[in-house]
Amino acid sequence: MKIKRISDEVHVVIGGFFPLCNTLVILSDEIAVVDPGCSVESLRFLLRKEGKELRDIDVVLLSHIHPDHITHAARLNRLSRCRVAANEITAPFFDDKEQMKRFLGFTPGHLIRPLWEDLVNERMYGALDDCKTTNIVKDGETFLVGGHSLKMRYTPGHLPDHMCIELVEENLLFASDIDLTEFGPFYGHPNSSIPEFKESIKKVMDGGYRGIISGHLKEPLIEDYEPGLRAYLKQFDMREEFVLLAVRGGAKTINDIVVNPIIYPSLTNVVYLQFEKWMIEHHVDSLIERGLIWKHKGVLSVA
């Protein structure tokens, strides 16, 4: 169990890598929890150190709809009757988990859908529970919690609904899944977007923040974040070059390419294979758009 103290009233409960995430906690006149994907026991430990309980939480704020970032939101709402805030894209999917599944590409009849549901229920238990948002926040809007101003920064690409959250008084940015992990950027859904993700990273880079807080690093506060973001950006091009090399080497289809995984070092779960395929599809589309490869009757070739 690890907790990072950012200031007297701002803390990060370390969840770390998927299927957990880091959770931002503001302990002020009100208690706010951003992205409740850490272990609930760790969150309870932090609150009890301050003489509080889970039932004392006032608001849960969600950065986007990924299960690892919403895991305990419904449970905390049941315990505390807290408000649940999300942006105008995220909210309908949080309110209707069937729509959430479709949004993430797992439409009815999709072969991987039941396996993805099993993964979520086993490792992110509670993420698919019924719950309703109470507050809608928009890009640029400031959400007040106690004496803290949380400003919403829309940063799509990872998913269309992804946003970062600026802690105005601290001049810090909770960057959620612009996370600077060694794994690199994740855009493993049909509606993810490499161009939008790149633009969002550049937007964060130009923000002039005192530091950014990663949604997944075990040392979450990065003060000198620009070099890390530049390296993060380079991973898109590195992966794309590997995809191009695979086609040059004779790969004719997406399945041919993922035989030798480019993004996931080990495909230990068929759900991760689906994520890999969707990410490779984005790169193939990019290479086709740039005229570097062709696709004719479903067969890839070098232009």
Spatial contact of 293 and 285, defined as CB atoms under 8 Å apart: no
Predicted pLDDT of residue 120: 98
pTM of the complete model beyond 0.75: yes
* Per-position pLDDT tens, the chain of length 303: 699 999 999 999 999 999 999 999 999 999 999 999 999 999 999 999 999 999 999 999 999 999 999 999 999 999 999 999 999 999 999 999 999 999 999 999 999 999 999 999 999 999 999 999 999 999 999 999 989 999 999 999 999 999 999 999 999 999 999 999 999 999 999 999 999 999 999 999 999 999 999 999 999 999 999 999 999 999 999 999 999 999 999 999 999 999 999 999 777 789 999 999 999 999 999 999 999 999 999 999 998
Per residue, the 3-state secondary structure of the chain, as one string, reads CCEEECCCCEEEECCCCCCCCCEEEEECCCEEEECCCCCHHHHHHHHHHCCCCHHHCCEEECCCCCHHHHCCHHHHHHHHCCEEEEECCHHHHHHCHHHHHHHCCCCCCCCCHHHHHHHHHHHCCCCCCCCCCCEEECCCCEEEECCEEEEEEECCCCCCCCEEEEECCCCEEEEECCCCCCCCCCCCCCCCCHHHHHHHHHHHHCCCCCEEEECCCCCCEECCCHHHHHHHHHHHHHHHHHHHHHHHCCCCCHHHHHCCCCCCCCCCCHHHHHHHHHHHHHHHHHHHHCCCEEEECCEEEEC
Domains and CATH numbers, the chain: 3-223 (3.60.15.10), 239-302 (no CATH)
Spatial contact of 180 and 218, defined as CB atoms under 8 Å apart: no
Predicted pLDDT of residue 1: 67
How many residues belong to the chain?
303
Predicted pLDDT of residue 268: 77
> 83's torsion region: left (phi>0), alpha (psi -120 to 50) or beta?
beta
